[in-house]
Amino acid sequence: MSDIETIAIFSPSLQMGGAERMMVVLANEFLQEGKSVSLLLANSQGPLRAELDQGVETVDFNQRGVFGALLPLARFLQTRHPDILLSAQSHANLMALLARRLARVNLPVVLSERTTMSVHYALEPGIKNRFVPPLARLLYRQADAVACISQGVADDIIGVTKISPERVHRIYNPALPPLAELAQKIETPVDHAWLLPEAPQFVLAVGRLSAAKDYPTLLRAFARVRRERDTNLLILGDGEKRAELENMIDELGLAGSVQMPGFVDNPYAYMARCAVFVLSSAWEGFSNVLVEALACGAPIVSTDCKYGPAEILENGRYGALVPVGDAAGMAQAILDALDGRQEPSALSRRASAFSHENAVQQYLDLFRTLHSSYDDKYASNEKTTRGGSGAA
């Protein structure tokens, strides 16, 4: 099996999103494995640049979105011809496949699919989103492989695109950083009054303030919890639903007990100190934050949404699962978790299944297999062509 030397990764930006962060993690880890890595960006703006290893080449196509990156991406493939192209997020995946066709180059393309296409693009607003599933049905079968971040996403992609199941691989997110780094982040002091030892217990949620995360259900659940328990709710993240959620906090009379300070650089320090970690999502592709909270030993309450939480929590073994949108059920699960005791070491052991090392090796093994098959295929084609012309 021939090894690979050069890896190109196509991602929309370096904005603070789960998919973008995982591509930065993979780029850094591939570099540590001795590979030459180019991170190709529709636009290089975003705070994740600070987390990118300086040894990773960044190529900024300086476009407003992934559609404008099509021609620059094709030119890059023509001139640089990496051993493998990995792309992430459905819009970018479509552009990666079209760019290879425009460039007329022979190289494997691996798509990283991170959301349940049948759910996400039906519920997310925006006219462009409506075209993603039909375009995926048309183009995804040209991919050499689709790496899905959960089995649920894998099953969904097969159902939506009709791609051959043999080309679909489940590779969990590299959500858990190296243990030494994690321990350092957990122990880092945090300047927040709610994290002081004498402060009341607090419930924590982490994620973009978007429709997918369904924070209204969490706020309604927390209002029920507050009737029985003196506790606070901290939501780390930002997004388009902030104003709506702030209004809801006021309407529920929770202004003194709920804070939304935005994104933070080190959520692990909060996860290690919270009384309960809650995921209220209506849908997920995986859920990095669940793995991170497990690694920090936090008791978990999560919706049993499609897809990811049930896989991560092993159907409730490592945290409570409640129906999507069930505020009463979520409130009771939070109260039970506040009263209960779970062994943090058992939770952190479960999180180790989602380490950087596991994900990186699975990706590299897949890349090597595809690269070898391309070497064999095109060497064979070249030999056949030469043989045919000689016989003539």
Q: Are 30 and 167 found together in one domain?
A: yes
- State the pLDDT at residue 19: 85
270 located within any domain? yes
Q: What six digits make up the tokens of 157?
A: 């992609």
Segments in the chain below pLDDT 70: 1-2, 120-129, 377-392
> SS3 breakdown of the chain: % helix, strand, coil, rounded to 5?
50, 15, 35
- State the pLDDT at residue 381: 53
Q: Are 123 and 186 found together in one domain?
A: no
219 located within any domain? yes
- State the pLDDT at residue 1: 58
Closest CA to 213 of 287, 267, 140, 161: 287
80 CB contacts (<8 Å, ≥6 apart)? Answer: 6, 8, 38
205 located within any domain? yes
| CA separation for the pair 337, 24 (Å, rounded) | 34
173 CB contacts (<8 Å, ≥6 apart)? Answer: 18, 22, 149, 286, 288, 291, 354, 359
The rounded Cα 121 to chain-centroid distance in angstroms is 16
111 CB contacts (<8 Å, ≥6 apart)? Answer: 86, 87, 88, 93, 96, 97, 140, 143, 145, 146, 147
| CA separation for the pair 118, 287 (Å, rounded) | 17
The verdict on whether omega for the bond into residue 307 sits within 30 degrees of 0, i.e. cis, is: yes
- State the pLDDT at residue 380: 53
Q: Are 131 and 149 found together in one domain?
A: yes
- State the pLDDT at residue 125: 58
Q: Are 86 and 141 found together in one domain?
A: yes
- State the pLDDT at residue 122: 65
Closest CA to 134 of 86, 90, 89: 90
Q: Are 341 and 382 found together in one domain?
A: no
Q: Are 162 and 199 found together in one domain?
A: no
Q: Look at the pTM and tell me if it is higher than 0.85.
A: no
317 located within any domain? yes
The rounded Cα 218 to chain-centroid distance in angstroms is 21
Output the CA angle 124-127-128, nearest 5 degrees: 90
273 located within any domain? yes
Q: What six digits make up the tokens of 63?
A: 């476009």
Q: Are 50 and 114 found together in one domain?
A: yes
- State the pLDDT at residue 392: 30
Contacts within 8 Å (CB) and 24+ apart, 21-25: 21/48, 21/51, 21/288, 22/88, 22/112, 22/114, 22/173, 22/174, 22/175, 22/288, 23/86, 23/88, 23/112, 24/48, 24/51, 24/52, 25/174, 25/356
CATH number of the domain bearing residue 376: 3.40.50.2000
Residue 10 CB burial class (10 angstroms; 0-12, 13-18, ≥19):
buried
Contact 10, 46 (CB under 8 A): no
How long, in residues, is the chain? 392
Q: Are 340 and 223 found together in one domain?
A: yes
User: Which domain does 294 fall in, by range?
Assistant: 179-353
Q: Are 163 and 274 found together in one domain?
A: no
Question: How many domains would you assign to the chain?
Answer: 2
Question: What 8-state DSSP symbol labels residue 142?
Answer: G
Q: Are 192 and 333 found together in one domain?
A: yes
367 located within any domain? yes
- State the pLDDT at residue 124: 63
1 located within any domain? no
368 located within any domain? yes
Q: Are 347 and 360 found together in one domain?
A: no
- State the pLDDT at residue 249: 98
Q: Are 207 and 225 found together in one domain?
A: yes
